[in-house]
Structure 1
Amino acid sequence: MNVAVDPATFSDLTRRHHRELQLYCYRMLGSFDAAEDHVQEVFLRAWRSRDAFEERSSARTWLFRIATNACLDTLRRKTPPLQPFPDQLLDEHPGPDAVAVGRETISLAFLAAIQLLPPRQRAVLIVRDVLSWSASEAATLLETTVPAANSALQRARTTLREQWPGGRLEWSPAHEPDPAERELLQRYIAAHEQADPQALIDLLREDIRLTIGPGIGEWTGKPTVARALREDMNTPGQWRMLPTAANRRPAAAAYVRAAGDTLFRPFGLAVLHSAAGRLVAIDAFEMPGLFAAFALPATLID
């Protein structure tokens, strides 16, 4: 396949690999917005350098190498804030990454875990343990030797084992949301809309963890989390919520109506993690700019 001289083939290449490159960049960066920006940068770099593609590796590997370099360039300068990924985009036009997306390693817990790894270790872990690339393919991607790639992978695995001894099953949901999880989401929404903090607190497990990003805070334990939630629900009637899904988890999109306003406006997204009918973690993101990516309304009317 000669991408250097065939614009139609290049266009087809970008179409076929867009979603898996987006997910790769998302895992590398932990940010939905940054991932999409980087995919566009990948295709721009690929188009500009298409004459240099010599087909010694596959076009897919070539695009992933460009994506890796683009992500590494960014991570040398900054770490983007963690963001959720809309489930409806995970299910659109599945490509080679579809099996891995459906199975694991798209959870927020996994994404937060791999942010602890140095960027090159992160890249080799993703392509080897998530995408199931061979050691030689990983070495080609990182433009290094197979022993060096294997060494980076072992260091990455060791770090994750130290932090998460439960392993990969602990990083991701074991199944799609079931009726009990959907009911819990509805109760979570009702508690907010009815300004009933006790109804919300009753949903929490004793070891509940609440995080609010970007960079707002983290609370652990039912008494501490309960106090934080009460503070957010002190004005009756100010919240409206819509059910959605992110990172293979039930989620709620929160809208807030300020005093004197007639519209409920986007406020944030909450991704819920549950076990045995109780919430064990709430990952909240005060990022109203993400609502469009989740195909959510710009405003709600009472």
Structure 2
Amino acid sequence: MLAGGLAIEDLEALRVPLTGYCYRLLGSSSDTDDAVQETLIRASSKRDQYDPSRARLSTWVHRIATNVCIDMLRAAKRRALVMDVGSTGDTADLGAPLPPDMWVEPMPDSRLLDSRDPGGVVLQRESVRLAFIAALQYLTPHQRAVLVLRDVLVFTAQETAEILHTTVPAVNSALQRARASLDANRPDPFDIYSPEDAGQRDLLRRYVTAFESHDIAELTAVLREDAVASMPPFQWRLEGAQKIAAVTGASDSCAGARLVPCPINGAPGFGQYRPSDGVLRPFALVSVDIRDGQITQLVTFLGTQHRFAEFGLPESLRAEHVRGDR
């Protein structure tokens, strides 16, 4: 128990919602970790200043988190997805990589979705989708905080004003501007991911089988005609089911690769493993979006092999690993 009747457990219980909040503002996994840790340190050091008669603990701690995040954002660039800024190509030639701080980074569902709020899981998934996080980057840090606090975390206008050290009219005005800007940059519609949806499970199984067997015809069938594939940190993307299937199917680098399911940003995803010295080792995280019963977007995050454990993925697979093992 901390001084003032505030327990360590009380603060730790806010780690997941704080992670979701800071990630929506920052778009970076490493920056989010730093922001959450700094928030909890500051909250612990200022625990004697917390007055439960004046504000909920969540309101008080989110005020600290907002200050931390906005300080971090003052010198930060806008993060994006490749489809927002990248150029299309017809080959697997990726060109030169760009700095990692240009791109929205993936996060595991386990760190973003609050299991204590099962009724809000659909909103949680929608609001951590990669495209939504990228759309938030068009807002100013203040507008971003207002929109997330009001429309995602459902704080009242009064609580939001307290968190941001402003007034209710100022919050309402900022929220109106944020919604208008978000509407202008709103991502394409997509099917809400449900792990219990048999149709989605079958689609993902078909994609895995086609990818691992280099079946170009089946890859084309599971992809929407206007599907997009990208590979940050490279400013490259492929558009169209036939192009994506042809490049994927003809790629020698994917020979023997395997995909292991893992949720990413409230959507289906995979850890891609590639053969090396007789075992299959982590290569990259792959995020998938589904629209109208087909795959509409594939984002392969190169350079993420060191993060597999964070997503609940094993460090390696047997070389004889087959689809039936999953």
Q: Which category describes the TM-score, using the shorter chain as reference length?
A: 0.7 to 0.9
User: Relative CO higher for 1 or 2, CA cutoff 8 Å, sep ≥ 6?
Assistant: 2
CA contact under 8 A between 1:100 and 1:131: conserved in structure 2? no
* Structure 1 partner of 2:115: 94
* Structure 2 partner of 1:266: 282
The AA in structure 1 aligned to 2:138 is L
Listed one character per residue, the Cα deviations across residues 37-87 of structure 1 (whole Å, up to 9, x for unaligned) are 321111111122223334432221110011111111111122554223323
> What does 1:188-203 align with in structure 2 at a 5 Å threshold?
188-203=207-222
* Separation (CA, whole Å) in 2 of partners of 1:215 and 1:29: 20
TM-score (norm 2): 0.79
Listed one character per residue, the Cα deviations across residues 74-131 of structure 1 (whole Å, up to 9, x for unaligned) are 111225542233234456x634x55434333222221121111111100000011111
* Separation (CA, whole Å) in 1 of partners of 2:247 and 2:25: 31
* Separation (CA, whole Å) in 1 of partners of 2:191 and 2:140: 21
* Separation (CA, whole Å) in 1 of partners of 2:26 and 2:155: 20
- Compared CA separation, residues 85 and 98, structure 1 to 2 (3 A): farther
* Separation (CA, whole Å) in 1 of partners of 2:190 and 2:203: 21
Question: Which of 137, 148, 168 is the matching residue for 1:115?
Answer: 137
- Compared CA separation, residues 98 and 63, structure 1 to 2 (3 A): farther
* Separation (CA, whole Å) in 1 of partners of 2:252 and 2:216: 8
- Compared CA separation, residues 57 and 223, structure 1 to 2 (3 A): same
* Structure 1: gaps spanning 5 or more residues: none
* Structure 1 partner of 2:160: 138
* Separation (CA, whole Å) in 1 of partners of 2:291 and 2:196: 11
RMSD value, Cα: 2.6
Say yes or no: does 1:299 pair with 2:296. no
* Separation (CA, whole Å) in 2 of partners of 1:165 and 1:223: 23
What is the SS of the residue equivalent to 2:62? helix
* Separation (CA, whole Å) in 1 of partners of 2:260 and 2:226: 26
> What does 1:221-232 align with in structure 2 at a 5 Å threshold?
221-226=240-245, 228-230=247-249
* Separation (CA, whole Å) in 2 of partners of 1:148 and 1:109: 27
What is the SS of the residue equivalent to 1:249? coil
Q: Between Structure 1 and Structure 2, how many residues are aligned?
A: 291
Question: Which of 227, 231, 253 is the matching residue for 1:212?
Answer: 231
What is the SS of the residue equivalent to 2:207? helix
What is the SS of the residue equivalent to 2:14? helix
CA contact under 8 A between 1:177 and 1:249: conserved in structure 2? no
* Structure 1 partner of 2:149: 127
Say yes or no: does 1:244 pair with 2:244. no
TM-score (norm 1): 0.85
Determine what percentage of the aligned residue pairs are the same residue.
37
The AA in structure 1 aligned to 2:29 is F
CA contact under 8 A between 1:107 and 1:173: conserved in structure 2? no
> What does 1:3-14 align with in structure 2 at a 5 Å threshold?
4-6=3-5, 9-14=6-11
The AA in structure 2 aligned to 1:85 is M
> What does 1:61-72 align with in structure 2 at a 5 Å threshold?
61-72=59-70
CA contact under 8 A between 1:90 and 1:101: conserved in structure 2? no
* Structure 1 partner of 2:92: none
Which region of structure 1 is more displaced relative to structure 2, 29-38 or 266-275?
A: 29-38
* Separation (CA, whole Å) in 1 of partners of 2:69 and 2:32: 9
- Give the CA deviation at 1:172: 6.8
CA contact under 8 A between 2:135 and 2:187: conserved in structure 1? no
CA contact under 8 A between 1:106 and 1:248: conserved in structure 2? yes
Say yes or no: does 1:29 pair with 2:26. yes
CA contact under 8 A between 2:191 and 2:291: conserved in structure 1? no
CA contact under 8 A between 2:193 and 2:268: conserved in structure 1? no
- Give the CA deviation at 1:165: 8.6
What is the SS of the residue equivalent to 1:202? helix
Which region of structure 1 is more displaced relative to structure 2, 28-37 or 199-208?
A: 28-37
- Compared CA separation, residues 85 and 252, structure 1 to 2 (3 A): same
The AA in structure 2 aligned to 1:37 is D
The AA in structure 2 aligned to 1:102 is V
What is the SS of the residue equivalent to 1:133? coil
CA contact under 8 A between 1:214 and 1:285: conserved in structure 2? yes
What is the SS of the residue equivalent to 1:132? coil
* Separation (CA, whole Å) in 2 of partners of 1:271 and 1:135: 34
* Structure 1 partner of 2:56: 58
